[in-house]
Amino acid sequence: AQSVTQPDIHITVSEGASLELRCNYSYGATPYLFWYVQSPGQGLQLLLKYFSGDTLVQGIKGFEAEFKRSQSSFNLRKPSVHWSDAAEYFCAVSNTGGFKTIFGAGTRLFVKA
């Protein structure tokens, strides 16, 4: 069955520290992979996506993610976290057409001064 697992329900990092959010997926075919960010009271905004090519993907706001097929992972990273990065982050996998997207349960990021 297709699924997305985000092992960490919440993570707290200090401002300026590095960040890695984990995502593992189970998908039968070549997946389309995404990271979305949701600020409080807002809809979801796409941070980055991967469907082919270079396995290290650059996104907006200084985020990047690396696709590792052997580990079925698509972890999100940022070298230096800002207080404004505090939000909930969702990993998602989609079929080729992009009309059946499965979301992980989300990881809430807290940033401490």
Partner 1 sequence: DAGITQSPRYKITETGRQVTLMCHQTWSHSYMFWYRQDLGHGLRLIYYSAAADITDKGEVPDGYVVSRSKTENFPLTLESATRSQTSVYFCASKVGVGQGVVEQFFGPGTRLTVL
Interacting residue ranges for partner 1, rule: CB under 8 A: 4, 6, 32, 34, 36, 41-46, 49, 51, 90, 94, 97-101, 103-106
CA dist 49 and 91 (Å) reads 10
Considering the complex, state which of residue 28 and residue 41 has its C-beta at the smaller distance from partner 1.
41
85: exposed, middle or buried (Cβ count in 10 Å: 0-12, 13-18, 19+): buried
47: exposed, middle or buried (Cβ count in 10 Å: 0-12, 13-18, 19+): buried
Considering the complex, state which of residue 73 and residue 101 has its C-beta at the smaller distance from partner 1.
101
How near is the Cβ of 32 to partner 1 at its closest, in Å? 5
Considering the complex, state which of residue 36 and residue 67 has its C-beta at the smaller distance from partner 1.
36
How near is the Cβ of 92 to partner 1 at its closest, in Å? 8
How near is the Cβ of 100 to partner 1 at its closest, in Å? 7
Phi, psi of 49 (to 5 degrees): -145, 155
Bridge partners (DSSP) listed for residue 13: 111
Considering the complex, state which of residue 32 and residue 67 has its C-beta at the smaller distance from partner 1.
32
